[in-house]
């Protein structure tokens, strides 16, 4: 098998569970931005160690679930598996628990934050901005009235990455049990 198929040379791309759409369609734009977030988080993880690296890896893996849902034609949504290819409420709740843990131990910043106080935190801040762009792209893709949890997940993820970066700047690291 080769990496190139030539099927996309016409400007279309294949969707998960079938179908093709233009590469500049809102779905590929959204899941492409999620892919960018995964890669950006990879830069952060390559600089991190221990529990921080584990926490970032857990987020990267969750973003594959987000991308799978965004890469599926709405008519095929019933074929998605919760937690595997469909964002579920428990994923959002887990992010909220992580945010609350950091807030309880480190607290919220009391002034505007200028990223760059630590290399790992700065990389996470870049990833956070990419996640925010993915969130905007997901809003454009789904429109109003969707029952997808992709947008709330991305919203909460950006909040978590913000808090994680602030915690790292304060030399706080999650414990193994709280990293995932």
Domain ranges of the chain: 20-173
124-140: per-residue pLDDT in tens?
A: 999 999 999 999 999 99
Checking if the pLDDT of 63 tops 90, the result is yes
Checking if the pLDDT of 111 tops 50, the result is yes
pTM over 0.75: yes
What is the mean predicted confidence (pLDDT) over 74-80? 91
In this structure, which CATH number among 3.40.50.150, 3.40.640.10, 1.10.3720.10, 1.20.1200.10 belongs to the domain 20-173? Answer: 1.20.1200.10
Confidence (pLDDT) at 172: 63
Average pLDDT, the chain: 91
53-62: per-residue pLDDT in tens?
A: 999 999 999 9
31-61: per-residue pLDDT in tens?
A: 999 999 999 999 999 999 999 999 999 999 9
Band (pLDDT 50/70/90 cuts) for residue 146 is confident
Confidence (pLDDT) at 113: 83
9-22: per-residue pLDDT in tens?
A: 888 888 888 889 88
Checking if the pLDDT of 103 tops 60, the result is yes
Band (pLDDT 50/70/90 cuts) for residue 179 is very low
Q: For residue 141, what are the contacts with CB-CB under 8 A and spacing of at least 6? A: 26, 27, 29, 30, 70
Confidence (pLDDT) at 176: 41
- Percentage of the chain beyond pLDDT 70 is 94
Distance between CA 113 and CA 162 in Å, rounded? Answer: 10
């Amino acid at each position: 098998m080769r990496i190139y198929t030539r099927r996309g040379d016409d400007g279309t791309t294949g969707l998960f569970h079938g179908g093709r759409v233009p590469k500049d369609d809102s779905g590929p734009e959204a899941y492409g931005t999620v892919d960018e977030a995964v890669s950006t988080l990879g830069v952060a993880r390559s600089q991190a160690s221990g529990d921080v690296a584990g926490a970032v890896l857990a987020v990267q893996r969750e973003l594959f679930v987000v991308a799978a849902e965004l890469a599926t034609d709405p008519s095929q949504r019933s074929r998605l598996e919760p937690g595997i290819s469909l964002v579920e409420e428990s994923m959002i709740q887990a992010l909220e628990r992580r945010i609350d843990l950091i807030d309880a131990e480190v607290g919220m910043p009391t002034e505007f934050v200028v990223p760059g106080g630590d290399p790992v935190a700065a990389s996470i801040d870049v990833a956070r901005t990419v996640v925010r762009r993915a969130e905007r792209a997901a809003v454009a893709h789904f429109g109003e009235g969707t029952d997808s949890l992709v947008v709330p997940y991305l919203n909460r993820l950006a909040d978590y990455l913000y808090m994680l970066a602030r915690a790292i700047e304060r030399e706080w690291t999650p414990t193994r049990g709280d990293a995932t």
